Structure formats: structure tokens, C-alpha cells
Chains A and B, each alone.
Chain A
Amino acid sequence: MNVSKDLVAASATPLILAILKENDSYGYAIIKRVKEMSENQLIWTEGMLYPVLHRLEEHLLIESYLSKSEAGRQRKYYRIKESGLTELELQKKQWEIVNNALARTWNEESNS
């Protein structure tokens, strides 16, 4: 099933922050991780991911650094910052509110 574009865009920030909270990572690996965790339901495109990463960096939620990969290539890694962690907590609460509300209404639907 295709998740709508708006929903993908809205969930991008918390997902990226959550992944970076696990450990530092880079673009290609983030896309793979998202794919894996959503059981192939969420497939991000590069054109979407990198601009979001850059925007998060601009807002000082994450920071980037260059580091050599196993293959000896310069790669741009991203690391979550303190403010990113706070933002993630905030987003978590917001998503919980939405999630709870949706769950309750849907429960009422099925109960009635």
C-alpha cells in the first residue's frame, strides 16, 4: 500500500531523528533502515531525504561530519544534537496525541 505523500513528509523528521538517535548514519543507510523498519512499506526517495536532512541541519537539530567509509570513501555522516533529542521527544508526544485520538475514534467506530 502506498502511504500518502503528505504523511510521508510529516513523518520524515521524527523517523530520521529516531534513526540518528540509535547511531550516526548517512543518507543511503537511513533509507535502507526506514525500508526495513516499515517492512518495505515506506520507500523514501533521495530527492526527498537529502533536503530534509539539510533542513534539520540548518535548524541545528542534527550536525554532519565527514568520515571515511569501510571502502575508504569520504562520506557525510549525520549525528543528532541535544536540541534534536528534545525535538524528538516533542514529536513523539505529538504523534502519541494523534495516534491516541485516532485509535479511540476507530475503537468507537468498531464498538458502535
Chain B
Amino acid sequence: MFDLETQIHSWSDHLRARGNLSDADIHELENHLRDEIEDLIVAGLTPDEAFLISVKRLGNVVAISHEFAKVNTESLWKHLLVDPIDSLAKQLNRRDITLVVIFALLAGTLFKIPELFGFGLLDQDGEIKIVFIKNFSFFILPFISAFFLIKRKSELKTWVTILGIFILAAVIINVYPSFDPHHTEVLTIFHLPLFLWLVVGATYIGREWQGSKGRMNFIRFTGEAFIYGVLVMAGVMVLFLFTLVIFQAIQIDVQKFLAEYLLIYGGCAAAMITVYLVEAKKSVVENFAPILAKIFSPLFLIIMAAFLIVMIITGNSPFMEREFLIAFDLMLALVLGLVLYVISARDIRQPANLFDYLNLALILTALVIDGVALSAILFRMSAFGITPNKLAALGENLALLGNLAGLAWLYIGYFKRKFDFSKIIKWQTDYLYVYFIWTAIVAFIFPIVFRFN
């Protein structure tokens, strides 16, 4: 059915996205469109006919914004003299690229500095030393943060706060001792990057870090950065293997050199380039993460429903080792990812569509499966005692469960038309706090609680 309101909204969204029009301008034009439509409807046209004709009469969006720029002499003057062919944007772009190159070199060199003092990256067995793995995030994430701090023209206070968090985290992590079997240290290795990534998120969002719009953008950014990062890194690997093979053909072994330079500098460059690319293209192309999510969410739903049915029929309860609990954590994280990226690409004003119902089905199935798994782990924990690993896995599970349960509840309310979609987005973006706090607890407080063993 033709919904006039939705059509008008998407028309003005289009205008907003294309032209350099202010909100007031758009509001005025939208009113104009409505007047035109009303007149045409009075004259006997149906709403969809009236809408089409009115839009056509208003002219295409590009032409409108062009006219606006033309008659507005002030900006005409800017276009002609100060701003030939968008030179400001070009200058900024050049600056960003310079930053990317410098930061990639700095990050790579930072990896090499300990080596100068006889403290190499690899131990005798050719494995990367655990100290490096633990500190991995500190070699690259501060530079990404700095990139955004510069781009967002952050104040000195923000710089100090962010740098302070990085330095404090680095000091704490390295002052902590670690005893066999290094459980808490391993937990730190997994949770610290997540924690610091959220700190990077604060710099990415900039001033409006408390608003859900900025946070949603950061979630989108994370998804795109992940996909781009994998692609760029695959490119680095291809280069690595190609160089290796081609030099082997003339009996020269370049593996050591490649591993020490190409992989390190290439890796840092890949990370910086990814960040730059995703940031630069932001609004140019359709995001890819939501497309992936839409392809896979029905498939995951089928598999999980099948799993649930088989589990009920056979009566096999999931065998609750820690590894399995982690598997269920992963399931929840995946479901959350799928749901989140479908949401992220959604226009809040659009009515509920198929993917919203799929989302809810996916969440509910995940909740049921996880409920069974949780009851098993809780039973085992009470019988066999608590270890840091089990507690961390359990904590993750509860955090994700809370997130999904909240989403399910809000979705149901949304379908019942109790509240609108923005509430779901607000819940999800606010929930980032929980992850921030939980990862901080595991990375910094667990080692103390469990006496660093």
C-alpha cells in the first residue's frame, strides 16, 4: 500500500543526504511538497499520483541544491574564488593520508624499538613473546585514537584523558605479575583489546559520545573496519607469500626479513589504512556489514532452530566444559552481531519488515539455547568450583544474554506498537557501557582477585 508519510520522509532524507541544505531549508521544501500534494489531491488525484507529480515539479534534488548555491551569492563567491574544485576537502584528505603514513611508520617502529635493546619480538622457539601479545593493542590503537583526535579537532582535555587511559592501562597490565598457569594473563590478552577499542570508539565519536547517534555510527564503523581490515590484511599476506616464493626461486631465503619488517610494518599500515578508508567512505557506498548480516541471519536461524529441535528430541544436554560455554558465548556474540548490523542499516521511520521478525526469532532461539547451556554450567560450577576462566566465560554469557533479552523485550514492544524503534537503538548504544565495564573488570581486576595465577 502507498504510504504518503513514509514517502515524503524518504524524499526529505534524500534531500538531506545530497544537497548542502540546512534543516530549515529542508523543512520549508517539505512543507512546499505537502502543499502541492494537498492541492493535487483536492483536484482529484490519488495520493501516489499527487506525490509523483509534486516531486517531479519540485525538480530533482541535485538541481534544487544547485539553484540554492547559485542564487546564494555568498557561497557563489566562495565557490569561484576561495574554494575551487573542493580544495578544502582535498587538503584535508592529503593531511589524512600523511597522518596514515606517519602513524603506520611510527607504530611499526614502536614494535622494533625493544629489539634495539636486545629484547626481540620472538623467543628462542620462534614464538612471539607473551609480553608482546599482551601489549599488542598498545602498539597500534593509540595511533588510531590519535588519528581521530586530530580529525575531530579534539580539545587538549580529551587528548590528556585518552592518553591517560592508555598509559594507565599499559602500566597496570605490565606491573601485574603472572604465575603459572597464566590464566588471568590470557584473559587480559583477550579483554584488553576490546576495552581499548571502546576507548578508541570514544575518540571516533568525538564530542557527541553520549548520544546514541554517534555510538551507532561507531558500531557501523566497527563492522566496516572489520571487513576492510580482513581484506587489506589478506592483501598483505598475498604480498608476503608472493615475495617469499619468488625469492625462493633464486635460492634466497627472505622469510626472516619479511617476518620482521613486511609483516610488522604491513600490519600496522593495514590497520591505519583500514581506519582511513572506512572513515573516508562512510557515506559514499552502502555499508557491507549489514548486507552480510542480512545474508546470514536466516541461515543462522535455520541452524539454531535445527539444533534446538535435535537437542529436545534426543534429550542430549550440552556437555558443559568451559570450551563449550565459550562456544555458546560465541553463538550469542554472533547473534548479537547479526541483529546489530541489520538494525544499524535500518531507517528508524520505516515500518517493521521481514528482517525485524527474523531478528526477534533469532534472538529468542538463542535465548532458549543459552538458557539450557547456562543451567548446565551453573550446576557444574557449584559442583566443581570457580576458576577465572569459567567466571569470565560466565560473565560474558550473562552480559550478552542481558543485551539480547533487552532487545527481545523491546522488539516485542515495538511490534505491539508500544514504543518506536529509536528506543531499541538507544538500548543497544547504552549497553556499550556494560561491555566497557565488564572488559575493564576482566582485564584489570580479575588478576588481582585471582592472585595473578
Query: In chain A, what residue has the closest Cβ to B68?
Result: A51
Q: In the assembled complex, which residues on chain B have CB atoms less than 8 Å from the CB atom of A51?
A: 67-68, 70-72
A95 proximity list for chain B (CB < 8 A): none
B73 touches A28 (CB 8 A): no
Interchain CB contact under 8 A, B63 and A47: yes
Please indicate the chain A residues that have their CB under 8 angstroms from the CB of B35 in the complex. Answer: 28-29
Q: Which of B26-34, B152-160, B165-173, B211-219 contacts A (4 or more CB under 8 A)?
A: B26-34
Number of contact residues on B: which range applies? 20 to 34
Complex Cα–Cα for A75 and B32 (A): 9
Which A residues lie within 8 Å of B64 (CB)?
46-47
Q: Closest chain B residue to A9 by CB distance? A: B71
- With A28-B35, A28-B36, A71-B38 known as contacts, the answer to whether A48 contacts B71 (CB < 8 A) is yes
A76 and B31 alpha carbons, distance in the complex (Å): 9
C-alpha gap A46/B28 in the complex (Å): 10
Interchain nearest-CB distance for B345 vs A (Å): 30
Q: CB within 8 Å of B: which of A13-67?
A: 26-29, 45-48, 50-52, 54-55
In the complex, whether B58 has a CB less than 8 A from a CB of chain A is yes
Bound: A74/B24 CA distance, A:
11
Interface centre among A46, A52, A55 (most CB of B within 10 A): A46
A5, chain B: closest CB distance, angstroms: 11
Report which of B24, B25, B31 forms a contact with A75, defined as CB distance below 8 A. Answer: B31
Which residues of chain B have C-beta atoms less than 8 A from A29's C-beta? 35
Q: Tell me what chain A mostly uses at the interface: helix, strand, loop, or mixed.
A: helix
Closest to B72 in A: A51
Of residues 3 to 30 in B, which have CB atoms within 8 Å of A's CB atoms? 24-25, 27-29
Q: Is the CB of A50 within 8 A of B72?
A: no
Closest to A54 in B: B72
Q: Which residues of the partner chain B approach A54 to less than 8 Å between Cβ atoms?
A: 25, 72
Inter-chain CA distance A89–B385, complex, in Å, is 92
CB distance from B22 to the nearest CB of A (A): 9
- Interface 1/0 per residue, B297-330 and A, CB below 8 Å: 0000000000000000000000000000000000
Tell me the number of A-to-B contacts counted with CB atoms below 8 Å. Answer: 49
Task: Please measure, in the bound complex, the distance between the C-alpha atom of A76 and the C-alpha atom of B24, giving whole angstroms.
Answer: 9
Contact of B68 (CB < 8 Å), options: A47, A74, A75? A47
Residue of A45, A73, A74 touching B67 (CB-CB under 8 A): A45
Would you give the shortest CB distance from B87 to chain A, in whole angstroms? 24
In whole angstroms, how far apart are the Cα atoms of A54 and B72 in the complex? 8
Is B126 among interface residues, defined by CB-CB distance under 8 A? Answer: no
Task: Give, as a whole number of angstroms, the nearest-CB distance from B378 to chain A.
Answer: 56
- Residues of A within 8 Å of B27, CB to CB, are 74, 76
Alpha-carbon distance between A46 and B59 when the two chains are bound, in angstroms: 8
Inter-subunit contact A50/B25 (CB<8 Å) = yes
**In the bound complex, what is the Cα–Cα distance between A28 and B58 (angstroms)?**
11
A48-B31 contact, Cβ under 8 Å, with A28-B36, A54-B72:
no
Cβ distance A75 to chain B, nearest Cβ, rounded Å: 5
Complex contacts, B36 vs chain A, CB 8 Å: 28
In the bound complex, do residue A50 and residue B31 qualify as a contact, i.e. CB atoms below 8 Å apart? no
A-chain residues with CB within 8 Å of residue B58 when the two chains form the complex: 46
A59 to B36, CA, bound (A): 28
By CB atoms of chain B within 10 A, which of A26, A27, A47 has the most? Answer: A47
**B72, A55: Cβ atoms closer than 8 Å:** yes
Q: Which residue of B lies closest to A12 (CB)?
A: B71
CB distance from A105 to the nearest CB of B (A): 31
Q: Other CB < 8 Å A-B pairs besides A27-B31, A51-B70, 20 of them?
A: A28-B32, A28-B36, A45-B59, A46-B29, A46-B58, A47-B63, A47-B64, A47-B66, A47-B68, A50-B25, A50-B29, A51-B67, A51-B68, A51-B72, A54-B25, A55-B71, A73-B34, A74-B27, A74-B31, A76-B24
A interface list, Cβ under 8 A from B: 26-29, 45-48, 50-52, 54-55, 71, 73-76
A-B contact pairs, 27 of them (CB 8 A): A26-B31, A27-B32, A28-B35, A45-B59, A46-B29, A46-B64, A47-B63, A47-B66, A47-B67, A50-B29, A50-B68, A51-B68, A51-B70, A51-B71, A51-B72, A52-B71, A54-B25, A55-B71, A71-B38, A73-B31, A73-B34, A74-B27, A74-B31, A75-B31, A76-B24, A76-B27, A76-B28
Q: What 4 A-B pairs have minimum CB-CB distances, sorted nearest first?
A: A47-B67, A51-B71, A28-B35, A47-B64
